[in-house]
């Protein structure tokens, strides 16, 4: 039986994990076996750059952290080695980065994930991974809003230019010296 101190530490770890998960809008669980330290370091750097928290976690602690929550169904994938990638504000980044990495490393397997507090299928994780980044989506939306305004501005400019061309011959005729 673990000592009271060890038990307290584990309870604190479970509480921390539970809090990280509850603050996250998206998460992906992976079986990370078969990758080198260099590959793991590169993956962690890319995830960190995107604002995604990644950590190796004991299945027992994760199982306790998701107990009696909507994510309890993830319990069935908690075997072997487990790491979790969590994002507090980007719904797509964990799936996109992890899926891209898994496609290049056949032993690195996606186990499951969640989005907005609900367990999602591997197919949905794959679909999320194919979406463009948040920045690209925002740029597309801005472009869509700017396109009608730019077309309107070009139309107005064309009208002004046409009126200017029509007025130019009349002005030239008025300025020409009268022949005597």
For every residue of 107-143, DSSP letters joined together read T-EEEEEEETTEEE-HHHHHHHHTSPPHHHHHHHHHH
Whether the pTM exceeds 0.85: the reply is: no
Kindly report, residue by residue over 53-103, the tens digit of the pLDDT.
999 999 999 999 888 888 888 888 888 899 999 999 888 899 999 999 999
114 Cα distance to chain centroid: 13
Residue 170 has pLDDT above 70, yes or no: no
Location of structure tokens 């590169």: 42
**Span 4-131 CATH architecture:** 2-Layer Sandwich (3.30)
HSE-up of residue 169 (Cα within 13 Å, Cβ side): 4
Between CA 120 and CA 148 the distance in angstroms is 38
């Amino acid at each position: 039986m673990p000592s009271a101190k060890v038990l307290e530490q584990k309870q604190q770890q479970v509480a921390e994990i539970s809090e990280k998960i509850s603050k996250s809008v998206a998460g992906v669980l992976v079986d990370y076996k078969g990758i080198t330290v260099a590959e793991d370091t590169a993956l962690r750097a890319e995830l960190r750059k995107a604002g995604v928290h990644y950590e190796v976690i004991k299945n027992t602690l994760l199982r306790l952290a998701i107990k009696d929550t909507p994510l309890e169904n993830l319990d069935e994938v908690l075997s072997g080695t487990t790491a979790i990638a969590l994002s507090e504000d980007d719904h797509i980044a964990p799936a996109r980065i992890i899926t891209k990495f898994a496609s290049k490393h056949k032993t690195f397997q996606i186990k499951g994930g969640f989005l907005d507090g609900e367990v999602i299928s591997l197919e949905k994780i794959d679909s999320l991974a194919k979406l463009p980044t948040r920045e690209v989506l925002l740029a597309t939306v801005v472009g869509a809003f700017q396109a009608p305004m730019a077309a309107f501005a070009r139309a107005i400019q064309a009208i002004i230019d046409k009126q200017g061309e029509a007025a130019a011959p009349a002005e030239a005729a008025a300025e020409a010296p009268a022949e005597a």
